[in-house]
Amino acid sequence: MLLLLGFSVAQAEMPNPVYHGDRKIAKVALTFDACPTIPQGQLAEQVLEVLTRTKTPATLFISGRWAKKQRKLVKKLSRDPLFEIANHSYSHPHFLEKKPEEIKWELEETQKILKSITGKTPTLYRPPFGEFNESTVNIAKELGLTTVEYDFPSGDPDPNFTKEVLEKAVVTKVKNGAIVVMHMNTRGIHTGEALEEIIKGLKKRGFALVKVSDLF
């Protein structure tokens, strides 16, 4: 693929920040955040088991601190064409409370860690807590990163979102081009339990499930 100033042509055509894909095309991107957790690096194994078994593509936003605790897993995931690995900052702070040099370090450090593990430099990044402003977007852009938000928060960190509630919310409410955010660590309380039915339900509605980069 032709490269232009460090960006692929496809990436250059993506909006920045990204909220969703083409509303006229029946594609949905499932995305999963791996935030720092207590204990550090904890994984919701069922999420990855379901994605792999059902051959469902997904974009995985991984924090640098989490990646350091899960190096073997991140390396394995990076070699699977189902998944694309993206930057989710190093320690998951509130960027709007941070100085520009602190934000830059958070993103650069995670880029270094992920590249050292996978051999690939991420081109997509999701802000911690989904918080961003023009300054944070520009810092990310300078590092070759497109800021990826979402238009459908699944609500999976909410303990009141049972398996059934989560399934119904995602399957019935997403639209063409949607980017759905869920979690692949313990912040996604019932994600693993609900995921297979979510995938089945979205496919039944006629959606193709793709990675974020394939929405554009």
Position 14 scores a pLDDT of 80
- Give the C-alpha separation, 100 to 132, whole Å: 12
CATH value of 25-215 in 1.10.3720.10, 3.40.50.970, 3.90.25.10, 3.20.20.370: 3.20.20.370
Mean pLDDT of 10-21: 79
Q: Are 132 and 17 in contact (CB under 8 A)?
A: yes
Structure tokens at 167: 């399934």
Query: Residue 154: pLDDT above 70?
Result: yes
Distance CA 114, CA 133 (A): 24
In one-letter notation, the amino acid at residue 187 is R
Q: What are phi and psi of 8, to 5 degrees?
A: -75, 160
Average pLDDT on 131-147 reads 96
User: In sequence order, which residues have a C-beta less than 8 Å from that of residue 7 and are 6 or more positions away?
Assistant: 123, 144
CB 125 within 8 A of CB 136: no
Cα 194 to Cα 40, 101, 147: the distances in Å are 24, 39, 27
Contacts of 5 (CB under 8 A, 6+ apart): none
Whether the pLDDT of residue 3 is over 50: the answer is no
Q: How far apart are CA 129 and CA 33, in angstroms?
A: 10
Tell me which of 39-43, 83-87, 106-110, 161-165 is least confident. 39-43
Whether pLDDT at 5 is above 50: no
What are the backbone dihedrals phi and psi of residue 80, each rounded to the nearest 5 degrees, phi first?
-95, 120
pLDDT in tens, 171-185: 999 999 999 999 998
Positive/negative CA dihedral, 181, 206, 51, 190: positive
* 45-94 per-position pLDDT tens digit: 899 999 999 999 999 999 999 999 999 999 999 999 999 999 999 999 99
Residue 79 in tokens: 């070699």
Prediction pTM value: 0.91
pLDDT at res. 90: 96
Residue 41's pLDDT band (cuts 50, 70, 90): low
What pLDDT does residue 22 have? Answer: 96
Q: What was the pLDDT predicted at 183?
A: 94
| pLDDT at residue 44, as a whole number | 80
At residue 2, the pLDDT reads: 30
- What's the whole-number mean pLDDT along residues 15-40? 89
- Per-chain mean pLDDT for the chain: 91
